[in-house]
Amino acid sequence: MNISIPSPDSLPEAARQFIEAMGPSRVFAFYGAMGAGKTTFIKALCEALGVTDQVTSPTFAIVNEYQGREPIYHFDFYRIKRLEEAYDLGFEEYCYSGRLCLIEWPELIEELLPDDTVRVTIDVLPDGSRVVNF
């Protein structure tokens, strides 16, 4: 599925479309270049899912937990140096918890992702708009 995001104003609608298409999947891996809008899109998703906490990139903490209609785990593996760091924080337990897991920079822990992980790419088009593919 492709979701177009022509401007930041269209993020809430894009998040709604994404949520409608999520189905029963619980683990989503977000791929995209630095500045593509992964964190911004995840923030819009969390808001659409009822999160009232401030949604920020967990770059230094590696994982943030938000409370919405259900707990949501938001990971950012950009600064991870060794796969063992993901094991140490209990990444697999999060993934198999049945809770929603939203993962930035998953390429750094690819071998730990569950088989049913939904891979999401965010591409920046020449006009500055974004396209979300999954």
Provide the residue-wise pLDDT of the chain in tens; the chain has 134 residues: 999 999 999 999 999 999 999 999 999 999 999 999 999 999 999 999 999 989 999 988 999 999 988 999 999 999 999 999 999 999 999 999 999 999 999 999 999 999 999 999 999 999 999 999 99
* Cβ-contact 45, 70 below 8 angstroms: no
pLDDT at 106: 98
Q: How many structural domains compose the chain?
A: 1
pLDDT at 99: 97
Alpha carbons 132 and 62: distance in angstroms, whole number: 23
How distant, in Å, are the alpha carbons of 7, 34, 69, 89, 119 from that of 75?
25, 15, 19, 11, 14
How does 5-18 read in b/e, with b if 16+ C-beta sit within 10 Å?
beeeebbeebbebb
- Domain of residue 118, CATH code: 3.40.50.300
> pTM for the whole thing?
0.95
pLDDT at 60: 85
How does 61-86 read in b/e, with b if 16+ C-beta sit within 10 Å?
ebbbebebeeebbbbbbeebeeeeeb
Domain range spanning residue 98?
2-133
pLDDT at 30: 98
Alpha carbons 80 and 78: distance in angstroms, whole number: 6
